[in-house]
Amino acid sequence: MTSLEPTTIGKRAAEILKAMQAHPAYARLTDASMKYSPCWATFTGYPTISKWNLEADGGPLLVEALRVLALKAAVYELTGGDERAAELLVPDPVDEMIHAVLAQFTLMTKLQTDLGLLFPHATELESYTYTRGCVTDDYYAAAGWGEQPLRYWLDSREVNRRLVILNGLYQQVGIGVDGRSHNIDFDTVPDNWNPVGAAS
C-alpha cells in the first residue's frame, strides 16, 4: 500500500483532473451535470450556502466536485482500492454536486474505462463531519488548486448551525425536518392559486 502523503495524493489527483479535462467527453460531462439542476432540489446541502443561487453557484460548485472526485480517485488508486480511505470528508454542498456529476452514469463510466480509473463513492461510508484542516484539505492544497472557496467548504459545525435555521424556516411553511416530510395537501389548493412573488 502506498503511503497517504498529501504530496503523493495531491500530485496524482492533479494528473487525474487534467486527464479528465483532456478527455473528449469532458465538455459533455460538465454540460450534462449542469443540466441536472432541476433535480438539485435538496433541503440540507445547497441551501446551507448563504444566499444560494443556482446560476451563480452551480459552476463553481461543479469545479469543486470534480476536484474532489479526482482526489478520491487518487486515494483509491494509491491505496490499492481502499474504499474507506477514498471516502474523503467533504462539505455537504460539494458532496451534493458530486452526486449530480455521478448521476451522469454513462459519461462517468466512459471516463473510468478510458482513463483506467475508478471514481469511488459509497454513501454507506459517508460521514458528514467535514472539519476545516482535515486530511482532505491537505490533499487539496497538495494538488496545487489554490485556496478552497470557503463559501462552499463549510465546516460541519457551521452546516449544522445553518440547518437549525433552515429547519425552523421550513417548519413555518409545513415542511418537516430536513425536508423529509411536509403537511401540504395539494388536493385542497385551488387551481388558480398563485403565491405572492410566484411567476404567473
According to the model, what pLDDT value does residue 142 have? 97
According to the model, what pLDDT value does residue 1 have? 38
According to the model, what pLDDT value does residue 43 have? 78
Which among 149, 148, 126 is positioned nearest to 137, based on CA atoms? 148
Per-residue confidence in pLDDT tens, the chain, 200 aa = 345 899 999 999 999 999 999 999 999 999 888 876 666 667 778 888 999 988 899 999 999 999 999 999 999 999 999 999 999 999 999 999 999 899 999 999 999 999 999 999 988 777 789 999 999 999 999 999 999 999 999 999 999 999 999 989 988 888 888 877 888 888 888 888 887 655 54
CB atoms within 10 A of CB 29: 21
Integer CA distances (angstroms), 45 to 15, 80, 89, 132, 172, in order: 29, 31, 14, 17, 19
The whole-angstrom separation of Cα 33 and Cα 128 is 23
What DSSP string runs through 8-52? HHHHHHHHHHHHHHHSTTHHHHHHHHHHTGGG---SSSGGGSTT-
According to the model, what pLDDT value does residue 72 have? 97
Answer for the pair 161, 31: CB distance below 8 angstroms, yes or no: no
CB atoms within 10 A of CB 145: 17
Angle of the 6-22 helix axis to the 54-78 helix axis, nearest 10 = 120
According to the model, what pLDDT value does residue 159 have? 92
How wide is the angle at C-alpha 179 spanned by C-alphas 106 and 48, nearest 5°? 80
> Position of cell 467533504?
90
The whole-angstrom separation of Cα 103 and Cα 36 is 8
Answer for the pair 49, 151: CB distance below 8 angstroms, yes or no: yes
Three-state DSSP at 127 gives coil
